[in-house]
Amino acid sequence: MWASPMVIRVEWALRLKGVEYEYVDEDLANKSADLLRYNPVTKKVPVLVHDGKPIAESTIIVEYIDEAWNGGYPIMAADPYERAQARFWARYAEDKVRALYAIFSTTSEAQRKAAHEAQQCLKTLETALEGKKFFGGDAVGYVDIIVGWYAHWLPVVEEVCGVSVVTDEELPLLKAWFGRLLAVDVLKAALPDRDRLLAANKARREQVLSA
């Protein structure tokens, strides 16, 4: 599903590894027989099919890609402690992402509250960037892949909802990392077109608010 930030994680991991893949679009309003067969438990995208075997859940797929093509670009650090830290922050971000969705489904005071809560969570996440270029250190790593969608999607959400979340004043390290991440060619090349994403999110916002 072209507008899904969970799908981009898998494409980024494959591209960083230099693995060729076929992208199959999925209509979530009318799920394909393949999706239901490959991911009968959660019926969600993304699903990676490798040698005929399906793997579901984007964070798990990214770890799988790192382990299955273990000779290439290292997504995870070799050190067990660094790996645990990366998993911790990825998990933190996954648990807190609801705060970001709340901005999308609210207006006025409730939206301001949601934006503030999202900002607090991101401030905590930002501490993992201190003194580093990327969450992974000098190069893009696991956490960068998991939360990297913020860089492209959050400014769109901010524009659609009329709020500011990631500002130079409040989240300077995260804001600077947005710029660095989007300058990585292999990541940039996989991103959906911004205007198309904006239009889709505007339509989705109207739909959510009128529901």
Question: Which residues sit at the interface with a second copy, rule CB under 8 A?
Answer: 41-42, 50, 53, 55-57, 59-61, 63-64, 67-68, 70, 80-81, 83-85, 87-88, 91-92, 124
In whole angstroms, the minimum distance from the beta carbon of 168 to a second copy comes to 24
* 191: Cβ contacts below 8 Å, ≥ 6 apart: 8, 152, 182
Name the percent of the chain in helix, strand, coil, to the closest 5.
60, 5, 35
Which residue lies nearer to a second copy by CB, 107 or 124?
A: 124
Residue 198 buriedness (CB in 10 A; 0-12 / 13-18 / 19+): middle
Instruction: Report the C-alpha gap between 111 and 177 in whole angstroms.
Output: 25
Closest CB to a second copy among residues 157, 174: 174
Smallest distance from a second copy to CB 23, Å: 20
Beta bridge partners of 47: 56
The distance of closest approach from Cβ of residue 100 to a second copy in the complex, given in angstroms and rounded to an integer, is 17
Q: How far is the CB of 150 from a second copy (least distance, A)?
A: 18
Nearer CB in complex with a second copy: 61/157 = 61
CA separation for the pair 138, 82 (Å, rounded): 14
Given the complex with a second copy, which of 26 and 63 has the nearer CB atom?
Answer: 63
